[in-house]
Structure 1
Amino acid sequence: MPLMRLAYASTATFEAEPVKRGIEPHVARILMESRRNNVKRQLVGGLYYGDNRFFQYLEGEKEAVLALYQRIKADPRHRDVVTLIEGPLEKTTFTDWSMKYVPLSADVQQLLNRYGLREFAPASFDASMCEEMIQLIRSSRGDQKLVNHDEAETRAQPQARVLSPAMIGGLILAAACVIGGLVATGASL
């Protein structure tokens, strides 16, 4: 199957909520859905959200990328979808990511500053800026894997105890007896 790559820009239709735990809640839901569905379709790529706008880059089998893009264009969570890059690809470059997310970063701000842009407006990016943005997403730190904050809170809670308090007491008593026996044996030698 032939591979392809596709990048697009769009404007969010939702009212941005205050960022909680590092990510806008609507974007967190989009990422969770993308990651779950893209694995099934063997699609990879990256997403950047800033100034109420999206830049997304996708790679995968041509049919799967185009089918997903049709669903994306019909998604009511954004509008003004503009195709920035669309073309063939020899091999995927985001092999470990079903959908990598780059949070607001100084790197993107530097990119905007280099091009004299005051805000993130990816629909106006030329080919060179798109390639820089893709490289920025590709090379960004890979520590944004978790976006399900309920899941994060669950994981942060203490694990269930494997040993009951009675068993712990018994082990302490047994250890004390062994140590006492060793001390008594050592004293008698």
Structure 2
Amino acid sequence: MFGGLGTTGVELGVAERVGGAAGLRMSAEFLKVGRNFESDGATYDTKLKFSSLGLYGDYFVAGGGFRLSAGAVIGTRKATGNAVATNGTLSINGSSYPAAGESVGAEAKFPSAAPYVGIGYGHHQPSKGSGFYLDLGVVIGKANTTLSPSAGIVAAAGQANVDAEQRKLQDSVDKLKAYPVLKFGFSFAF
């Protein structure tokens, strides 16, 4: 069994050696963080939420603890945000529009199943006892975005400007082709 923390949140799992240089792992990972702040005349509410199951195959190099890993991450991984105008305007597609009390929501949602590749150390214990592990890798896959302005924003800016802002948001998110993974934790073999 193992447990740790990282960029995918809190992790709990099991690992098993299945041969001289091979191992299998399964883990559940949970992350929920949020931040509220004010900037440029708007109040922002942002959240990052991951809830996923990881399935991994490990190849231990030279019989030690160093390993190459590949697998899949299955579940929900998304970032959401909402901006509410506090100074009476919001910017859509480079122009400011009257928006007192109006809001714009955004969501970036990663694929529900995505491949993982990485390197690491640990999960190699052939006998009982405790140890540690470290993972460094990436979950590959681009997020899809959704922009959800309130009706007053759509009326003021026009659907064409809202659509252009949606494309800009998706273009920005498309630059992130993988999510970085760094995990550290402790293991115990029975």
State if a TM-score over 0.5 links the two structures: no
User: Higher RCO, 1 or 2 (CA under 8 Å, sep at least 6)?
Assistant: 1
TM-score under structure 1 normalisation? 0.22
Determine which structure has more spread, i.e. the larger CA radius of gyration: 1
Report the structure, 1 or 2, having the larger strand content.
2
Report the structure, 1 or 2, having the larger helix content.
1
